[in-house]
């Protein structure tokens, strides 16, 4: 294989950089999405426009980019593990990742599952803090009741003090149900599209195709696991366990209060976010791997 001389460490390095780039692009969308998902009681009926206005009413640091410092510094770690484990597993399985032969979907499923599983180790505590910070943005009606953390360090200290280490892994089973299937879908869709796309549209830059197909893969994978994302956001925002005792309790209470529609709350905002974030992440990762010597999907 023409990429055998490339060190596996490059997958991790490229993933770290690509992940940080993607976070900056998508964080404002993510903040509005989380607000849509966690509003309680009568506020459940708020529209996307109302949620957007509530976030916009704050300045950028306290609104759209509330909690950005934490994921910006740490999502590089998540994506480093995610892409690194995926790439290393594909190479260990002797999968041809040159893009010149049809994708081996069984190996992609295995590598994607391992990538999604391993990234949970850093991803869950990072998401807990991110969601808690985003959930504390004032709603514009009753303010921001309860605790309000000035930043991720204060939030981490308080959760560790009040809930212990396990508090940082609040919602782990739900996030696993979300992330592992999403990871598999993500790589399956992307590898299918990029292989056939580069062959079918040779006049179109492979860089542009990486962006577009990465965006499509992100939208499809997120749409499939949206109910788990909604539950994850609600459970993690409830860090003190005042509302939900666990996943099933959250599902039952959410359904009773709002019906089936609640499980797809934030889908439109998630889709708007998923396309540019995943497109930029995949494109950045692929281009960096080319710089490092990887020949995958080059024309």
Residue 257 has pLDDT above 50, yes or no: yes
Residue 292 has pLDDT above 90, yes or no: no
Report CA 239 to chain centroid distance, whole Å: 20
Q: What is the pLDDT of residue 42?
A: 38
Q: What is the pLDDT of residue 46?
A: 54
Model pLDDT for residues 191-236, shown as the tens digit of each residue: 999 999 988 898 999 899 999 999 999 999 989 998 998 888 888 8
- Residues with Cβ < 8 Å from 2, sequence gap 6 or more? 98, 295
**Mean pLDDT of the 243-269 span:** 86
Helix (H), strand (E) at residue 288: helix 267-292
* Phi-psi sector, 94: left (phi>0), alpha (psi -120 to 50), beta: left
| Domain at 9-292: CATH architecture | Alpha/alpha barrel (1.50)
Helix, strand, coil shares, percent, the chain, to 5: 75, 0, 25
Rounded-to-integer distance, Cα 40 and Cα 270, Å: 19
pTM (2 d.p.): 0.76
- Residues with Cβ < 8 Å from 105, sequence gap 6 or more? 188, 191, 192
Q: What is the largest CA-CA distance in the chain?
A: 61
Model pLDDT for residues 260-285, shown as the tens digit of each residue: 988 887 787 778 888 988 999 999 99
Q: Cβ–Cβ contacts within 10 Å for residue 47, how many?
A: 9
Phi, psi of 246 (to 5 degrees): 175, -170
| DSSP secondary structure, 142-169, as one string | S---S---SSHHHHHHHHHHHH-GGGGG
Could you state, in order of their start, the residue ranges of all structural domains in the chain? 9-292
- Residues with Cβ < 8 Å from 125, sequence gap 6 or more? 156, 168, 169
Rounded-to-integer distance, Cα 86 and Cα 117, Å: 10
Report CA 296 to chain centroid distance, whole Å: 24
Rounded-to-integer distance, Cα 270 and Cα 127, Å: 15
Residue 65 has pLDDT above 60, yes or no: no
Model pLDDT for residues 98-155, shown as the tens digit of each residue: 667 899 999 999 999 999 999 999 999 988 887 787 677 654 444 444 566 777 788 8
Can you read off the two tokens belonging to residue 271?
A: 């889709």
Rounded-to-integer distance, Cα 256 and Cα 278, Å: 34
Model pLDDT for residues 1-60, shown as the tens digit of each residue: 344 445 668 888 999 989 888 877 776 666 666 666 565 433 444 555 555 565 555 554
């Amino acid at each position: 294989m023409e990429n055998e001389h490339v060190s596996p460490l490059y997958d991790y390095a490229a993933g770290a950089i690509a992940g940080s780039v993607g976070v900056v692009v998508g964080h404002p969308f993510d903040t509005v999405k989380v607000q849509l998902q966690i509003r309680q009681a009568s506020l459940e009926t708020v529209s996307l426009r109302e949620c957007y206005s509530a976030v916009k009413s704050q300045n950028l640091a306290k609104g759209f980019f509330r909690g950005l410092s934490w994921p910006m510094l740490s999502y590089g770690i998540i994506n480093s593990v995610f892409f690194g484990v995926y790439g290393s597993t594909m190479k260990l399985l002797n999968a041809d990742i040159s893009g010149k032969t049809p994708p081996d979907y069984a190996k992609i499923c295995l590598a994607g599952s391992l990538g999604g599983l391993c990234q949970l180790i850093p991803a869950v505590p990072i998401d807990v803090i991110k969601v808690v910070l985003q959930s504390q943005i004032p709603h514009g009606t009753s303010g921001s009741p309860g605790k309000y953390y000035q930043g991720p360090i204060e939030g981490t200290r308080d959760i560790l003090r009040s809930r212990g280490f396990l508090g940082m892994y609040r919602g782990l089973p739900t996030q696993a149900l979300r992330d592992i299937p999403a990871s598999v879908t993500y790589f399956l869709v992307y590898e299918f599209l990029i292989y056939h796309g580069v062959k079918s549209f040779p006049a179109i830059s492979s860089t542009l195709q990486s962006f577009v197909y990465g965006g499509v893969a992100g939208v499809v994978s997120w749409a499939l696991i949206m109910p788990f994302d909604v539950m994850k956001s609600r459970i993690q925002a409830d860090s003190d366990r005042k509302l939900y005792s666990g996943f099933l309790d959250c599902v039952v209470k959410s359904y009773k209060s709002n019906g089936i529609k609640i499980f797809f709350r934030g889908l439109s905002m998630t889709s708007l976010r998923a396309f540019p974030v995943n497109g930029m992440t995949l494109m950045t990762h692929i281009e960096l791997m080319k710089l490092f010597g990887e020949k995958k999907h080059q024309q």
